[in-house]
């Protein structure tokens, strides 16, 4: 990991002494008042709060459809769960990272989603190689 420190005079005062990112999730964007605590349609503070009903729903879905492996039933549920605006892309990975201490089984959402994407990539690669071979030998 590499850090670069730049000193400048901002157009707006910020309460934070630094502005870093977690993948593409900017710390300044999370905490500056002008963004209202909303990133890509996700009210991330509300999502991480203890009373979030969707987290309870996720835990029930994971318990009902997943064990410690990523079965096809589990990966389908995980794909559906990841459609929530707070669980998409890097922001979703950040939310899962934050929630893992309190809910260890939530890591299945990250692991099975990644495994599913990996399987899709393998299938795509196989089809691409097969297509190229057919074109080459025709």
What tens-digit pLDDT sequence spans the chain (138 residues)?
676 766 665 556 666 666 778 888 888 777 776 777 788 889 888 898 877 889 889 888 888 888 777 888 888 988 999 999 999 999 999 999 999 888 888 888 878 877 555 454 444 444 445 554 555 555
Tokens of 121: 């990539």
Examine residue 88 and state whether it is found in any structural domain, yes or no. yes
Q: What is the pLDDT of residue 88?
A: 92
Is 1 among the domain residues?
A: no
- Domain extent, residue 64, equals 21-137
3 within domain boundaries: no
**Residue 103 has what pLDDT?**
84
How many residues does this entry show for the chain? 138
Domain count, the chain: 1
DSSP string covering the chain: ----------SS--SSS---EETTEEHHHHH-GGGTTEETTEEHHHHHSTT-HHHHHHHHHHHHH--SS--HHHHHHHHHHTTSGGGSHHHHHHHHHHHTTT-GGGHHHHHHHHHHHHHHHHHHHHHHHHHHHHHHH-
Return the C-alpha torsion angle 111, 23, 91, 70, nearest 10.
-10
The pLDDT of residue 126 is 46
């Amino acid at each position: 990991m590499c850090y670069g420190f730049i000193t400048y005079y901002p157009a707006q005062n910020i309460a934070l002494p630094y502005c870093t990112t977690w993948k593409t999730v900017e710390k300044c964007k999370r905490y500056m008042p002008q963004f209202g605590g909303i990133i890509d349609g996700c009210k991330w503070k509300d999502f991480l709060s203890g009373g979030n009903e969707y987290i309870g729903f996720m835990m029930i879905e994971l318990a009902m459809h997943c064990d410690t492996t990523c079965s096809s039933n589990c990966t389908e549920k995980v794909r559906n769960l990841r459609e929530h605006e707070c669980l998409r892309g890097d922001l979703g990975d950040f939310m899962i990272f934050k929630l893992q201490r309190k809910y260890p089984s939530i890591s299945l959402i990250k692991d099975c989603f990644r495994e599913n994407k990996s399987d899709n990539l393998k299938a795509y690669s196989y089809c691409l190689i097969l297509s190229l071979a057919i074109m080459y030998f025709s």
